[in-house]
Amino acid sequence: MKLNIMTRYFIAAGLLTCAGNAFALEAWSGQESGDTIEVIFDSKVYSNRWYVKADNCPQTASADNWDNPWTYVRNATPAEISAYGNPTTCDSGSITPVNYDAFSTDNNYVSGDIVSYGDVNYQAKSAVPAYSFTPGAENPWQLYTSVPVWNATQVYNKGDVAQFDGQSYEALFYTVGDNPSLTANQNPTGTNGRPWKPLGPTVEYSAAELNAAPQFSATALYEAGTLVQFQGQPYVSQAKVKSVSPVDKNPWAIYTDWTGTKERVGTPKNPWPAHVYAPYVDFTLNSIPDLATLAKEQNITHFTMAFVVAKSGEQCIPTWGTAYNLQDYAQYSKVKALREAGGDVMVSIGGANNSPLAAACKNDADLQKHYYDIVDNLNLNVLDFDIEGTWVADHESIQRRNRVVKATQDQWNKEGRKVGIWYTLPILPTGLTPDGVYVLENARDAGVQLAGVNVMTMDYGNAICQSAGTEGQNIHGTCATSAIDNLFKQLKKIWPAKSDKEINAMMGTTPMIGYNDVQGEVFYQSDAKLVMEDAQKRELGMIGIWSIARDKPGVPGQVSPEHSGMTPAQAPQYAYSHIFSPFTSAGEEAVTGVYKSRKNNQCLDIQYGKMRDGDRLMTYACTGRPNQILTFSGINQQLVIGDTQKCLDVQNGHNEEGVAVISYSCHNASDKNPNQGWLWENNTFRSLMKGEQRCMTVGNDGFVKISTCKENDPAQEFEIYHPAK
C-alpha cells in the first residue's frame, strides 16, 4: 500500500494517533514491520514512519526522502552500540558470496590459493598441479569392479549399480523389481521420485585387458576412461588426470571467511545448563524477538536457533534457511546482547525444509570443517542436529553425519574442548519410529557421544492425539508424556549401561504450542503444565517449544509461524514460556551445606534462628547450625533451610531493588511461586523472578536483599563453608 504525501507528512509530524515512544531497540538487519520500531545504524538510532521493508536501509534516510520510511531519532549511546551492534553497511546478511577466480583444471595452484567452484569457495592446503584434483570431488581414480546384471528379485539400496542390456544404472534408494531400463523407473536428475539413475553404457574389461593394463605413472597424463594397475588393483580414471595416485587425498578445503564473527555473536558467560528450557527461534523470520529483553523481563535465558541448512541440495555451503550467510548475519547482535545478559544459544542444523549439510556435502572433510567452524566461530557450547522429514530415512546422510560428528568430537577432545551434541527426532506416543532408532543406533556404533535426544512431541497424526476443543483434558500433553515414557525404554536398549537418571537427563521434549500442523491437534496451557510436571519429575535435560515467535495469541484456530492460534484468554503472550522457563537449572554442584559471604566472611542464617514465615535472611558467625544449612532442591530450584519445610523467598514477591530475602513455607513448584526460585551460578544465587535479573546481596547491615546482579561483587558471592578441623 502506498501512502500519499499528506499522510506521510502527518505521520512524520506525529499528528496521527500512535503508541508511546518507548520502543524495543535493536541493530538494523533488514527488518520488515508495520509497527513502530527503533534500530541502530552507523551509530545513530532510526525509527520508521510507516511500513518498512527489508530493502529500506537507514543509510539513505532523511527528512526529505519520502521513499525511505526511516527517520533519524538520535545518536546511539556507546552502551547501546555494545549491547545491540552497529551495522554500517546496507548488507543485511543475505547470500552475497565473494567473487574469487573460477577453478580451472588446466591451472597450477599453490598452497593458500582460493578459487570458486560450483558457487562454493575452496582454499588449497598444498600445491595443486593441473589436471589433478577438482575442489570438493573424490579421487579421480575409481577402483574397477564388474557391474552385475540387474536381477528382478534382488534388493538394491542407494548407491548400488546394476546393468541391463549394456547400460548401467545407479539405485537412488531402496528398490526391488523395478526394471531400470524402463523410462517409468528412471530418474536422470534425481528429482522425480523414481529409483534408477542412468549412467550410460557399461564399460567391461576382460581378464586379458586387466592383466595387460599399464602400471600407474605419476608423470603421465591420462584421459578419462583410462585403465591402469596400481598396487595390484585395476583403476579407471574418471576425468583427465595427472600427478594423482589412486590413494592421494584432495588438497582443496572449503573456505569461509569468518573474520569478525566471534565478535558479532559475543561469548557466553556461563556453561550450558544441565536442565534447560530452550525454545526454538526461527532465525530467518523478520519478526525475531529481542532475546536479551526476554531474558531480563520473562526469564527466558536460553534459545535454540533454527535452522542451519545447505544453500541448496548441491551446494555445500552452510546458511540460515538458505537465505543468510552464517558468518555475518546482522541478527547476531541479538545473540550478543543475550549473552551479555547472561543467556546463551544452541544452534540447530537441519529441520524439515531444505537440504541438511550432511546430504549436500559429499566430502567428509568438507562437512567436518563446517561442523567445527560453526561451533568455533559462533562460540557454541552445544550443537543440535534436527533430523526429520525424508532425511530421517536417508541412510547415506545419516551415516555421513554420524561419521563426521565422531571425527569432529575427536578433534575437540584433542583440544580439551567440551561441546554437547543433541539429536532432535520425530516421535509418536509409542516412541521413535524404526528410522529414528536407526539414527541413534548408527550414532552409537560410529562412536558418537550424545549429550541428549530431543523429540518433537507434536504433529503425531494419531487419532488418540486429536485434541481440538478439549482444553483441560490434557490429551496432547498425555501423548507427549507417553512419547517420553517409550523413548526412555528405547534409549535403555540402545545404551543399556546408562542408569535411569542418566537416560532421563539425556532426554528432551519439544511440543508445538497451540495449533499443530496436523489438523485437530492442539497443545493447550494445561498440556504444558502436565509436560512440565513430568519433566521436573524425571529431571529431563531439555524442554523446547516450536517456537518462541508463536508464544502469543493470534487468529483463533490458525496455524502460523508467528502466533499459536490461541485466543488471548486461552494463552496470552508468553503464557507457555511462563510455565516452562523455571525449568532452567545450571546443574552446578550447589551442594547441601553452609554458605559463607565473600563480603564479610559470615554465613547465611535466619534471623532469630526460629525459621518462621517472614523471618529475614542475614549473615552471622559461621556455626553450622541447622538454620545455616541450605539444600538446593534441583529442578524445583528452591533453597530449603535446614530440615524444615521453609524456603528462601523474596518478600511479597516483589522484584524490586533492595527487597528483603525471607524464610517462608515451601511451595510445591517454583513456577507457582517464582519468588522461591533460585539459580546457583558463578558463586551467586540469582532470583528466577521475571523482570530485571537480581541476585542475593549482603548489605552493610548484614541482612540479605535482592539487587541487580553484578560481576565480581563480593556482596553477591558465596562459597561453601568448611569448618576448621
pLDDT reported for residue 380 = 98
Q: pLDDT, tens digit, for every residue of 234-255?
A: 999 999 999 999 999 999 998 9
Q: How many CB atoms within 10 Å of residue 428?
A: 18
DSSP string, 631-671: EE-GGG--EEETTSSEEEEEGGG---TTPBEEEEEPPS-TT
- Indicate the burial class of 589 (C-beta count within 10 angstroms; 0-12, 13-18, 19 or more): exposed
Can you give the pLDDT at residue 219? 96
CB 673 within 8 Å of CB 581: no
Nearest C-alpha neighbor of 269 from the set 345, 212, 206: 345
Cβ-based neighbour number of residue 588 at 10 Å: 16
On the CB side of 342, CA atoms within 13 Å amount to 26
Mean pLDDT in residue range 449-476: 96
The residue behind cell 512431541 is 457
**Cross-strand bridge partners of residue 704:** 698
Residue with more model confidence, 83 or 39: 39
- Judge whether residue 349 has pLDDT over 60: yes
pLDDT over 90 at 17, yes or no:
no
Helix axes of 475-494 and 434-446: crossing angle, nearest 10 degrees: 40
What CA–CA distance (Å, rounded) separates 592 from 626?
11
DSSP symbol at 156: B
Report strand pairing: 629-632 vs 639-641. antiparallel
d(CA 512, CA 527) in angstroms, rounded, equals 11
C-alpha cell at 341: 545478559
pLDDT above 90 for 438: yes
User: What are the distances in angstroms from CA 504 to CA 499, 540, 541?
Assistant: 9, 5, 7
Mean pLDDT, range 349-366, rounded to an integer? 93
Q: How far apart are alpha carbons 38 and 17 in whole angstroms?
A: 18
Q: Is the pLDDT of residue 724 over 70?
A: no
Give the count of beta carbons closer than 10 Å to the beta carbon of residue 172.
19
CA count, 13 A, side-chain hemisphere, 671: 22
pLDDT of residue 10: 35
Residue 573 burial (C-beta neighbours within 10 Å; 0-12, 13-18, 19+):
middle
Distance CA 502, CA 44 (A): 51
- pTM of the predicted protein model: 0.71
Q: What pLDDT band is residue 13 in, cutting at 50, 70 and 90? A: very low
Distance between first and last Cα of the chain: 79
Task: Find out whether 343 and 111 touch, Cβ atoms under 8 Å.
Answer: no
Q: What pLDDT, on the 0 to 100 scale, is given for residue 586?
A: 53
The H or E element spanning position 293 is: helix 291-298
User: Average pLDDT of 392-418?
Assistant: 96
Contact by Cβ (8 Å): 310, 354: yes
Total residues belonging to the chain:
725
Contact 404, 368 (CB under 8 A): yes
The DSSP call for residue 174 is: -
Q: Which residues contact 458 (CB under 8 A, 6 or more apart)?
A: 510, 511, 512, 516, 517, 521, 523, 546
Is 388 catalytic? The answer is yes
In 387-403, which positions are buried (b, 16+ CB within 10 angstroms) versus exposed (e)? bbeebbbbbebbbbbbb
Percentage with pLDDT > 90 across the chain: 69
Distance CA 453, CA 385 (A): 10
**Residue 551, CA distances (Å) to 24, 114, 287, 570 in order:** 18, 45, 13, 12
Assign residue 260 a region: left if phi > 0, alpha if psi is -120 to 50, beta otherwise? left
Whether 407 has a pLDDT exceeding 70, the answer reads: yes
Cell (9 digits) for 420:
554437547
- 154-164 burial string, b = 16+ CB within 10 Å, else e? eebeeebbbbb
List b or e across 496-529, with b for residues whose CB sees 16 or more CB atoms inside 10 angstroms: eeeeeeebbbbbbbbbbbbbbebeebbbbbbbbb
Lateral strand order in the sheet of 141-143: 141-143, 233-237, 227-230
pLDDT average, residue stretch 588-615:
85
**Cross-strand bridge partners of residue 221:** 242
Categorize the per-residue pLDDT at 4 as very low, low, confident or very high, splitting at 50, 70 and 90: very low
Question: To which residue does cell 512440565 refer?
Answer: 532
Q: How many Cβ atoms sit within 10 Å of the Cβ of residue 580?
A: 26
| Residues 626-656: tens digit of each pLDDT | 889 998 765 557 888 876 778 999 999 889 9
For residue 388, the model assigns a pLDDT of: 96
Q: What is the side-by-side order of every strand in the sheet holding 196-201? A: 161-164, 167-171, 196-201
Cα radius of gyration rounded to whole Å, the chain:
30
Sign of the alpha-carbon dihedral angle for 585, 586, 588, 591: negative
Query: For residues 720 and 606, is the Cβ–Cβ distance under 8 A?
Result: no
Tell me the mean pLDDT in the region 41-58: 85
Q: Is the pLDDT of residue 94 over 50?
A: no
Averaged confidence pLDDT in the chain:
89
pLDDT at 315: 86
Which of 682, 590, 596 lies closest to 636 in space, CA to CA? 590
Rounded distance between C-alpha atoms, residue 661 and residue 697, angstroms:
9
15: pLDDT strictly greater than 60: no
Once rounded to an integer, what is the mean pLDDT over residues 453-478? 95
Q: What is the pLDDT of residue 63?
A: 66
pLDDT in tens, 294-303: 998 898 999 9
pLDDT in tens, 671-716: 455 788 888 877 899 998 877 889 999 999 999 999 999 988 999 9
Strand partners, 383: 347, 421
Question: What's CA 716's distance to the chain center, in Å?
Answer: 32
| C-alpha distances in Å from residue 248, one per residue of 110, 114, 243, 245 | 17, 20, 10, 5
Beta carbons within 8 Å of 198's beta carbon, 6+ residues apart: 167, 168, 169, 180, 186, 188
Catalytic residue among 38, 388, 521, 717: 388
Per-residue model confidence (pLDDT) at position 347? 99
3-state class percentages of the chain: helix first, strand second, coil last, to nearest 5: 25, 25, 50
Q: Specify the range with the lowest mean pLDDT, choosing from 96-105, 239-248, 302-311.
A: 96-105
| pLDDT, tens digit, 9 for 90 and up, residues 545-591 | 999 999 999 999 999 999 999 999 999 999 999 999 989 875 544 56
Cell numbers 551445606 correspond to what residue? 593
